[in-house]
């Protein structure tokens, strides 16, 4: 990367650590992918983890001089003359796994169980008890899944901040053991199947959504459409069997919601064979056919559901020719969320393969159904538990500024238009590594680093020190509900204090505290919160939260695969947006990718592109100089705008000069010299 590295200087600093007896550093790898590896012979009477060496070096050396890996040895190999034999040092690839197994194997039953949980959640087969959860790809949402497994296995609730304090199996095992010894068992009762009656309660989220659909029955905002292009011979009998089995497996797909004694209730219909209508467009000319497909797909996506009469899933197939079909799926949000869509596609893929090959699909058992969860939720969210959650949120938000007053390019419409547009972007691989490294060094997840940067940017734009933005949480912090199709997602309001002109490092700590507190009290539905805070609703904007930040870590969900078919997604071209701005970030294999969804009735594309540029600049400044104060970061953004405007003016002037010169030459050829 263009830095001059003195291996001897690194070795000298490593030897200063009290636990290090001897140390050697060497470069390993191919020419274009070299990395520093530190070899340590440690003092026999001292035990320490590799993170201690790294932390020690970080306080004495620049980042580029810190080895990317450490290998612990009893003794360093030596030549006959007594010098360290660097050629005999084991390579990282041959010794790393042996070293990990030797130093990091589970030492007790609790560590062994936790290591298994980490392996499943992180999808990492080889790891030790001192590996860092967040270095292995963990993030806040995966931490919540880990929490549900700990509750299931040990019957204790480990606060999320404890995982951030001790993000290793060894450290977490100590926390779990402390709770077990103290007899602090989890208070929440398990979710169990209930007796099925004619009318079953809906969940709080379903109740809220049902009332919203009654206010605007023709609004398609809560439709979740998918269009898939299927290349190859489609087996319609198998496809109908797939959705018949899915509806049999997931009660939400065959439930309706109607009024009973003035309240919405679920009515679960018995399983019935699913018949999928097929519309033949093969007779149309190709250009007309393409237009028809788009028109039908858009109409299908915008067509409202009558939830009291029809199940919340519609299926339709368009036949383009013998080897090409379009599968249109439309789910209503009252029965599903983004997580549910992944379940539906994955299970449909497995069922279609089984139906096509005459085998039986192996799908995980579902111990409960969504109706069981709805009953449990209403039993759990009452009394002491409900009061505890409400007390926390009132303490956090009762005196907050309920509007994030961002400058807009046009006046806000009196009534929300729900229109949406998008701009996408990505970080370089190097910037992504820097963000990960910075997050690890400051004991926060990448989510919290990005959140703090986004809140700083919004505070700069709105000239506010009290910033509330939302983040969507999966709402599946119980292991029983992870495999269900249903509406579990919840919106959390994260309030961060930007007052006092803090440094970015100080802001990071505030954002971390606010986020972990919100995650710990995620079970209170957002609309219940709005109701209890008595926030006045404005038809022109969403209450309390107008801007949302979402982050998806880890690997993206697998693409749909149907046996014998090649599948690709079809863009429907329908963009709807509930909030003013939503920034969604996702961790790909080697880079962070982002998309900003915004309301074009409020913002021009140029304003959003400027926001993305500012977000990147702010992050770069924050992680390279975390002691920068917010006023300094804001001044840097203002200066960047000034330079950007100067550059544009210069380009405009040069273009104008060239045009005038060309005109002059054309009209007065003799004056060209």
211: CATH: 3.30.559.10
Residues 45, 26 contacting (CB under 8 angstroms): no
Q: What is the largest CA-CA distance in the chain?
A: 98
| Cα-based distances in Å from 659 to 419, 483, 652 | 40, 64, 11
Query: For the chain, how many structural domains are there in total?
Result: 5
Can you say how many angstroms the Cα of residue 587 is from the centroid of all Cα atoms in its chain? 8
Cα angle value 594/597/600 (rounded, 5°): 145
Task: Quote the radius of gyration of the chain (alpha carbons, Å).
Answer: 29
Sequence-distant (6+) residues with CB within 8 A of 488 are 205, 337, 339, 340, 373, 474, 475, 476, 481
In a domain, 377, yes or no: no
Q: Are residues 388 and 522 in the same domain?
A: yes
What pLDDT is stored for residue 397 in this prediction? 94
> To which residue do tokens 């190709």 refer?
286
Cα angle value 608/610/616 (rounded, 5°): 105
- d(CA 207, CA 262) in angstroms, rounded, equals 12
> Phi and psi (nearest 5°) for 232?
125, 175
What pLDDT is stored for residue 537 in this prediction? 83
What's the rounded mean pLDDT across residues 150-177? 85
Q: Are residues 487 and 566 in the same domain?
A: yes
Between residues 658 and 556, the one the model is more confident about: 658
Both structure tokens of 392: 């926390």
Condensed to tens digits (0 to 9), the pLDDT of residues 22-41 reads: 899 988 765 444 678 888 88
What pLDDT is stored for residue 109 in this prediction? 83
In a domain, 116, yes or no: no
Both structure tokens of 516: 């972990």
Work out the number of other CB atoms within 10 angstroms of the CB of residue 108. Answer: 12
Determine what percent of the chain falls in helix, strand and coil, rounding each to the nearest 5. Answer: 45, 20, 35
Q: Are residues 418 and 494 in the same domain?
A: yes
In a domain, 192, yes or no: no
| Predicted confidence band of residue 100 (pLDDT cuts 50, 70, 90) | very low
Q: Are residues 62 and 143 in the same domain?
A: no
Both structure tokens of 307: 């939830």
| Cα-based distances in Å from 440 to 49, 135, 368, 448, 615 | 15, 7, 38, 11, 20
Both structure tokens of 230: 């299927």
CATH number of the domain within which 163 lies: 1.10.1200.10
Among residues 346, 371, 396, the one where a domain terminates is 371
Q: Are residues 333 and 424 in the same domain?
A: no
Flag whether pLDDT at 628 surpasses 60.
yes
Around 468, how many Cα atoms within 13 Å sit in the side-chain half-sphere? 19
Query: 155-169, 347-361, 515-529 — which is least confidently predicted?
Result: 155-169
What pLDDT is stored for residue 159 in this prediction? 80
Determine what percent of the chain is predicted with pLDDT higher than 70: 91
Domain holding 146, by residue range, is 123-182
What pLDDT is stored for residue 96 in this prediction? 42
In a domain, 98, yes or no: yes
Residues 390, 532 contacting (CB under 8 angstroms): yes
What pLDDT is stored for residue 607 in this prediction? 97
Flag whether pLDDT at 228 surpasses 70.
yes
Both structure tokens of 221: 């905002």
Closest among 537, 547, 394 to 467, alpha carbons compared: 547
- d(CA 27, CA 315) in angstroms, rounded, equals 58
What pLDDT is stored for residue 545 in this prediction? 96
Work out the number of other CB atoms within 10 angstroms of the CB of residue 537. Answer: 10
Condensed to tens digits (0 to 9), the pLDDT of residues 408-444 reads: 999 999 999 889 999 999 999 899 989 988 988 888 8
What pLDDT is stored for residue 646 in this prediction? 82
Residues 524, 538 contacting (CB under 8 angstroms): no
Alpha helices (H) in 559-604, listed in sequence order: none
Q: Give me the helix-helix angle, 526-533 and 204-215, nearest 10°.
A: 70
- d(CA 285, CA 289) in angstroms, rounded, equals 6
Between residues 312 and 18, the one the model is more confident about: 312
Among residues 68, 103, 138, the one where a domain terminates is 103
What's the rounded mean pLDDT across residues 86-98? 63
- d(CA 560, CA 349) in angstroms, rounded, equals 6
Instruction: Give me the torsion for CA of 144, 145, 151, 152, rounded to 10°.
Output: 170
- Please tell me what DSSP assigns to residue 538: B
Flag whether pLDDT at 273 surpasses 90.
yes
Both structure tokens of 33: 């992918």
Condensed to tens digits (0 to 9), the pLDDT of residues 456-513 reads: 999 999 999 999 999 999 888 888 999 999 999 999 999 999 999 999 999 999 999 9
- d(CA 443, CA 163) in angstroms, rounded, equals 10
Q: Is residue 377 exposed (0-12), middle (13-18) or buried (19+ Cβ within 10 Å)?
A: buried
Q: Are residues 542 and 666 in the same domain?
A: no
What pLDDT is stored for residue 104 in this prediction? 65
- d(CA 147, CA 90) in angstroms, rounded, equals 38
Condensed to tens digits (0 to 9), the pLDDT of residues 538-573 reads: 899 999 999 999 998 765 566 678 888 999 988 887
What pLDDT is stored for residue 226 in this prediction? 93
Q: Are residues 624 and 648 in the same domain?
A: no
Residues 106, 112 contacting (CB under 8 angstroms): yes
Q: Are residues 446 and 531 in the same domain?
A: yes
- Please name the helix (run of DSSP H) or strand (run of DSSP E) that holds residue 238, with its range, or none: helix 236-249
In a domain, 438, yes or no: yes
Closest among 480, 519, 273, 221 to 373, alpha carbons compared: 480
Sequence-distant (6+) residues with CB within 8 A of 74 are 41, 44
Among residues 371, 404, 426, the one where a domain terminates is 371
- Please tell me what DSSP assigns to residue 78: B
The chain-wide mean pLDDT, for the chain, equals 87
Flag whether pLDDT at 246 surpasses 50.
yes
- d(CA 120, CA 127) in angstroms, rounded, equals 12
In a domain, 194, yes or no: no
- d(CA 395, CA 376) in angstroms, rounded, equals 26
Q: Are residues 315 and 395 in the same domain?
A: no
Both structure tokens of 355: 């139906």
| Predicted confidence band of residue 266 (pLDDT cuts 50, 70, 90) | very high
Q: Are residues 52 and 158 in the same domain?
A: no
In a domain, 187, yes or no: no
What's the rounded mean pLDDT across residues 169-183? 86
pTM of the model: 0.78
Condensed to tens digits (0 to 9), the pLDDT of residues 307-325 reads: 999 999 999 999 999 999 9
In a domain, 113, yes or no: no
Determine what percent of the chain is predicted with pLDDT higher than 90: 52
Q: Are residues 178 and 204 in the same domain?
A: no
Tell me the β-bridge partners of 503. 629
Closest among 347, 345, 325, 357 to 232, alpha carbons compared: 325
Q: Are residues 521 and 587 in the same domain?
A: yes
Flag whether pLDDT at 211 surpasses 80.
yes
Both structure tokens of 49: 């983890």
């Amino acid at each position: 990367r263009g830095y001059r590295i003195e291996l001897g200087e690194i070795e000298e600093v490593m030897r200063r650590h009290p636990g290090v007896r001897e140390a050697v550093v060497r470069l390993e790898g191919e020419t274009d992918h070299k990395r520093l590896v530190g070899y340590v012979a440690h003092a026999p009477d001292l035990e320490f983890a590799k993170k201690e060496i790294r932390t020690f070096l970080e306080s004495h050396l620049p980042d580029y001089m810190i080895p990317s890996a450490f290998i612990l040895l009893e003794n360093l190999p030596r030549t006959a003359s007594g010098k360290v034999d660097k050629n005999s040092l084991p390579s990282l690839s041959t010794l790393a796994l042996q070293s990990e197994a030797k130093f990091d194997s589970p030492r007790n039953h609790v560590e062994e169980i936790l290591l298994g949980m980490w392996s499943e959640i992180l999808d990492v087969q080889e790891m030790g008890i001192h590996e860092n959860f967040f270095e292995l790809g963990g993030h806040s949402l995966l931490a919540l899944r880990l929490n549900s497994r700990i509750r299931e296995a040990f019957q204790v609730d480990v606060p999320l901040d404890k995982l951030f304090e001790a993000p290793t199996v060894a450290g977490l095992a100590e926390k779990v053991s402390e709770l077990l010894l103290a007899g602090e068992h989890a208070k929440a009762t398990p979710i169990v199947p209930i007796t099925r009656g004619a009318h079953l309660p809906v969940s709080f989220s379903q109740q809220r959504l049902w009332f919203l659909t009654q206010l605007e029955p023709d609004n398609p905002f809560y439709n979740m459409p998918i269009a898939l292009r299927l290349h190859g011979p489609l087996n319609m009998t198998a496809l109908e069997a797939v959705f018949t089995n899915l509806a049999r497996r997931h009660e939400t797909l065959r439930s309706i919601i109607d009024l009973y004694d003035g309240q919405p209730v679920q009515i679960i219909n018995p399983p019935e064979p699913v018949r999928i209508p097929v519309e033949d467009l093969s007779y149309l000319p190709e250009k007309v056919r393409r237009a028809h497909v788009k028109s039908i797909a858009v109409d299908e996506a915008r067509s409202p559901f009558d939830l009291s009469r029809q199940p919340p899933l519609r299926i339709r197939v368009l036949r383009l020719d013998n080897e090409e079909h379009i599968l249109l799926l439309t789910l209503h949000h009252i029965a599903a969320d983004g997580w549910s869509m992944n379940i539906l596609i994955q299970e449909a893929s497995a069922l279609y393969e089984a139906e096509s090959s005459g085998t039986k699909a192996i799908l995980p058992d579902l111990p409960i159904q969504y109706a069981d969860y709805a009953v449990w939720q209403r039993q759990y969210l009452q009394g002491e538990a409900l009061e505890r959650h409400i007390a926390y949120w009132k303490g956090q938000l009762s005196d907050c500024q309920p509007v994030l007053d961002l400058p807009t390019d046009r006046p806000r419409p009196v009534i929300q238009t729900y229109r949406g547009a998008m701009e996408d972007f990505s970080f370089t691989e190097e910037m992504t590594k820097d963000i990960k490294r910075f997050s690890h060094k400051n004991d926060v997840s990448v989510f919290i680093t990005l959140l703090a940067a986004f809140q700083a940017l919004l505070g700069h734009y709105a000239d506010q020190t009290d910033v509330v933005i939302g983040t969507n949480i999966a709402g599946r912090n119980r292991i029983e509900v992870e495999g269900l199709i249903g509406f579990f997602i919840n919106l959390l309001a994260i309030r961060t204090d930007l007052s006092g002109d803090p440094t970015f490092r100080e802001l990071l700590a505030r954002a971390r505290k606010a986020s972990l507190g919100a995650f710990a009290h995620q079970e209170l539905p957002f609309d219940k919160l709005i109701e209890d805070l008595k926030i006045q609703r404005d038809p022109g904007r969403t209450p309390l939260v107008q801007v949302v930040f979402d982050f998806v870590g880890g690997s993206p969900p697998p693409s749909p695969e149907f046996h014998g078919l090649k599948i690709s997604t079809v863009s429907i071209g329908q963009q709807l947006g509930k909030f003013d701005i939503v920034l969604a970030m996702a961790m790909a294999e080697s880079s962070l990718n982002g998309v900003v969804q915004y309301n074009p009735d409020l913002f021009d594309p140029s304003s959003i592109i400027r926001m993305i540029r500012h977000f990147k600049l702010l992050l770069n400044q924050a992680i390279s100089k975390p002691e920068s104060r917010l006023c300094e970061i804001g001044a840097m953004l203002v200066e960047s705008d000034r330079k950007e405007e100067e550059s544009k003016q210069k380009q405009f002037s040069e273009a104008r000069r060239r045009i005038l010169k060309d005109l002059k030459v054309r009209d007065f050829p003799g004056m060209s010299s």
